[in-house]
Structure 1
Amino acid sequence: MSGELFLAIDVGTGSVRAALIDVAGKILELASREHDQIVPEFGWAEQRPLDWWEGARASVKTVLDRVEGARENISAICVCGQMHGLVLLDAHGALTRDTAPLWNDKRTVDLVRRFEQANEPDSYLPESGNTPTPAWPGFKLQWVRDNDPAAYARSAVAIMPKDYINYRLTGEIAMDTGDASCSFLMNPERLDWSPVMIERMGLDAAKLPPIRNPLDVVGHVTEQAALDTDLRPGTPVLVGGADYPVALLGSGACRPGMGSDSTGTGAIITVIAEKPLLDPEISNVATVEGNWGQFVLLETGGDGMRWARRAFHGNALSYDEIVARAAETPAGCDALLFMPFLTGERLGRHRNARAQFFGLGAGHGMEHLHRSILEGIAFAMTRHIRIMEQASNRPLERVIAAGGGARTELWLKIKASAFNIPILVPREPECGIVGCAAMAATATGRFSRVDQAAERFVSYGAEILPDPGWVEIYSRTQPVFEQLYHHSQALYDDIDALAAATRPKQP
């Protein structure tokens, strides 16, 4: 095969994937290698960085074998990876801990709670751009300092999963602005490490790597890495990016006025803006093209349907059957509302929020319950969209849908009508891979701006327009949802106390 190619590597939670992409943004070959998630204690989640590297090696070799001449024609390599996974290396590049705590690891809950009790939001939001949460690597680094002091002392640098792959490829170390922005240690205005946050958290600034632009070349494939992967020595490797902002780019959500709905187990709603929104209920991530993604993660997204399938039907119905039942009910579910907080909220004052059906009457049936779950998640997302729109003083023009939820047309129509914003669905679901290709194409000079590359590479298969009748119903329902949201919060602590008092005592 002749012609310039790009190599993308995506270090995910379930697997490492490698893909060869041509200069038009078309994925020619893709291969993956799964890896395990380790749960040594309740609430912990770890993986072995060496497994990521083995997965990268195997996947890269596979795609190179499938495309003749690919090795000589790769002009750049771009890696993206799962965020928040803390990898510690010593001065010689060896791991000081065999495993890395992941984005969903909750071992730092007590550290986060103590930080919140000792610090007001006004004192840390301008310096970190975010609200404390167990996901942030800054708290994970504190945990290692306190619970594995030998590993902390031996550590020369703390990096993220994709940075480890870059290091194995090039021998060089850097972190992109996206991963750094969600560390709780980067100043969002200067795009550099915050001495204030580092000191406040009692960490060693010398253990933090340089922060670089995702499109910079971090290094070149070494002779050893070439032997390990069959890549050509000297091939340029970009700094790359955190998987979420790279996927935003690869979905086409890359300029202010655009939004993203990524619904899987949870649901992430993101608004692209020129600046971060310093609000205790909002998270912020630096995007590849130089904007900010203001986002909220709802712990219950597709998991709401999963819960209903199990709780109501003993897993006997398929998801398609549940959606078909929901479609039998008119918009608004005859004034039945669902508060979608089955596992609480990630941010805000009441992380112990509970789910509830409100307005249930004798005339409601199972189909109403199913649709109210879909609508309740849409209302929760709308609530945050309006907060972010108001802060930026700019309404969203369109929302781009990704994840498993993008395959459910009824739910997309509910969301589009609740948001009163059209929703687009990319033809290519591998948004992270496409984002890496857009970055590589820009870094090699084919485009002057990475958002231009994304616009060229991304096309859409469907546009879901708001239903005018549903928009009217949902616009009248949304204020009721907001009132219920606020009034319910006064009860959550009491419900926790009641649950503790009535829980059977362990022998």
Structure 2
Amino acid sequence: MQKDKQYILSIDGGTQSTKVAIFDLTGHELCSHTVKLQPIHLYGADRAEHPDDDLWDSLIEACQALFAKFDGDKGAIAGVGLGSIRCCRTLIRADGSLASPVQSWMDLRLSRPYQHEDDTVKYVTTTTGYLTHRLTGETRDTRSNYVGPWPIDPITLDWFEDQETFDSYTTPRDMLFDLVDPATILGHVNAFASHVLRLPQGLPVVATANDKAVEGLGAGLVNDGTVLISLGTYITSMMVGDENRQDATSFFANPGAVPGEFLYESAGIRRGMSTVTWIKDLLGGDIVSEAEAQGLSPEAYLNKRAAEEVSPGCDGLYTLLHWLARPSHLHERGVMIGFNGNHKGPHMFRSVLEGIALTMKNNVQAMCDERGVAPTRIIVSGGGSNGDLFMQIFADVFGVPAFRNEVNGSASMGAAICTALALGIYADRQEAIDKMVRRKDTFEPVPSNVALYQRINQEVYQHLAAETDGLLKRSHAIFHGEEE
């Protein structure tokens, strides 16, 4: 088949939704469908799970809906790029079904190695490993999605060869999948998956990486001082390079989305964009009804009001984004400080956006200082980047141009690029980016806003966490029966 007539199907599994998309080989998204996942089931002191078989069921629903509206030739699909959430754990029975619900990255069990307690469990793997097994029947997985307490050597990116070190992770080798590089064919769509997903049987299924590395690739991230801000349930910032920096203290190095590449990731914000949703829900039905009356989504309506009614700095209203505490800092809580009688809902909304941008500015600066580089520009990806106000806040807080790509849900684009590389459609990473990734908008920093945010950050915002930390520790002790 002619190269310009081929398509790629990409799978982008997230914490809140599953998206499938069909791209042509020049990176145009021809068709897509997104299915919202069930809310994470939070229970007990440490449990966070995806209910039922939600990741697989949502993929079935998304694929069936996609092909119901796709008017192209399914036979022209060259391959499937498989991306899904990182830092999750799946326990699989011998027949390929889940032995228990998928453990979310928010589950504190993920801070510890797997403990084998259920004899019905045949395999322990990631979300990409589970979906690979469903799609192909293979027990193979991308080595680039093993982040956390797995018996994987951070240098060789393979299972530890030293038996004593391997055994310290308490997971038998025969329960683990074989590891392959990203941009490698994992297997081929089997008869079962073909039937339920309506995919052509025999299609190659391609390994990607962890979801953030895939997103970096899909955003066109290169090693020239460019920073990617990823707006998701977990907000983080990323850069790429070719050094495996295991010695870093202000960022950590992950395997990238192509062999030999490493993704450098700063500290992030847990439940980051969920905080924006929280504010929207908190403001209630009036926001929804007003938005509907103006033909806008609630988020677009709040962006419009905050841009029109609230000046940069929100008249001294600041937000600390600890809506989900880190496992090592369970006393952390979200904080809004600086209210007066003039503050209204749009102030709170903008304050959350500014808090996200200021937090990520400080995290990025720490990463860049340790790397010995200066940030030159930022790319912002994820649904939050659709808001012009948020994009301008990022440009002003960072003091550098902020870009938004045509495809701003860049994890799906990254999965498509991995597939193009695995199938030999493009020779290397840069050629694929040049052919498939395009910028849409540029937001230049406003000098007066840059100066204001610098002063706010240096004189106030950088000190808020330290000033409130002791109080939050004492509050945590009161409500959890602990000594100060």
Name the TM-score, length of structure 2 as normaliser.
0.82
Greater mean deviation of Cα atoms: 380-389 or 409-418: 409-418
Offset from partner CA, 1:350-409 (integer Å, 9 cap, x none): 4423344455668x6446555443323222111111110011111122221122321222
Aligned residues, how many?
461
State the identity %. Answer: 21
Find the residue that maps to 2:128 and give its secondary structure: helix
Structure 2: distance between partners of 1:54 and 1:483: 45
Separation of aligned partners in 1, 2:448 and 2:170: 55
- For 1:104, the equivalent position in structure 2 comes to 106
Cα distance, 1:266 vs structure 2: 4.8
Q: 1:286 is matched with which residue: 242, 255, 258?
A: 255
> Is the Cα contact below 8 Å between 1:187 and 1:193 reproduced in 2?
yes
Q: Is the 8 A contact 1:339 1:485 kept in 2?
A: no
The equivalent position to 2:208 in structure 1, one of 219, 236, 240, is 240
Amino acid at match of 2:422: A
Q: 1:212 to 1:414 in 2, by over 3 A?
A: same
1:298 Cα shift? 0.9
Alpha-carbon distance in 1 for matches of 2:377, 2:324: 28
1:181 is aligned to 2:161: no
Gaps of 5+ in 1: 109-133, 503-507
Task: Determine the structure 1 residue equivalent to 2:291.
Answer: none
SS in 2 for 1:316: helix
Q: Deviations over 1:217-272 (max 9, x none)?
A: 12223345445545444332212333332222212224452222222455322233
- Give 1:50-89 correspondences, 5 Å limit: 51-57=54-60, 59-60=62-63, 63-64=66-67, 70-89=73-92
- Structure-2 change in CA distance of 1:375 and 1:252 (3 Å): same
Which whole-Å deviations, capped at 9, do the CAs of 1:152-174 have from their partners, x for residues lacking one?
A: xx434322223222223322122
Q: Is the 8 A contact 2:149 2:169 kept in 1?
A: no
**What SS does the aligned partner of 2:106 have?**
coil
Query: Which residue of the other structure, out of 409, 417, 420, is the alignment partner of 1:438?
Result: 417
State yes or no: 1:251 paired with 2:219.
yes
How high is the TM-score relative to the length of structure 1?
0.79
Q: Could you tell me which residue of structure 2 aligns to residue 384 of structure 1?
A: 363
**CA pair 20-265 structure 1, distance change in 2 beyond 3 A:** closer
Residues 307, 440 of structure 1: CA spacing in aligned structure 2 closer, same or farther, 3 A cutoff? closer
CA distance in 2, matches of 1:379, 1:76: 40
**CA deviation after TM superposition for structure 1 residue 458, in Å:** 1.5
Q: In the alignment, what sits opposite 2:295?
A: none
Aligned twin of 2:465: 485
Using the alignment, how far apart are the partners of 1:45 and 1:344 within structure 2? 12
Contact 1:49–1:164, Cα closer than 8 Å, also in 2? no
- Which position in structure 2 is the counterpart of 1:21? 23
1:167 aligns with 2:133: yes
Matched, 1:328 2:309: yes
- Once residues 33 and 304 of structure 1 are traced to their aligned partners in structure 2, the CA distance between those partners, rounded to angstroms, is 21
Change (3 A) 1:328 1:457: same
Match of 1:211 in 2: 179
- The yes-or-no answer on 1:298 pairing with 2:269 is yes
What residue is the counterpart of 1:117 in the other structure? none
Counterpart code for 2:257: V
Where does residue 127 of structure 1 map in the other structure? none
| Alpha-carbon distance in structure 2 between the residues aligned to 1:448 and 1:281 | 34
* Partner residue, 1:463: 442
Amino acid corresponding to residue 215 of structure 1 in structure 2: A
What's the Cα RMSD here?
Answer: 3.4
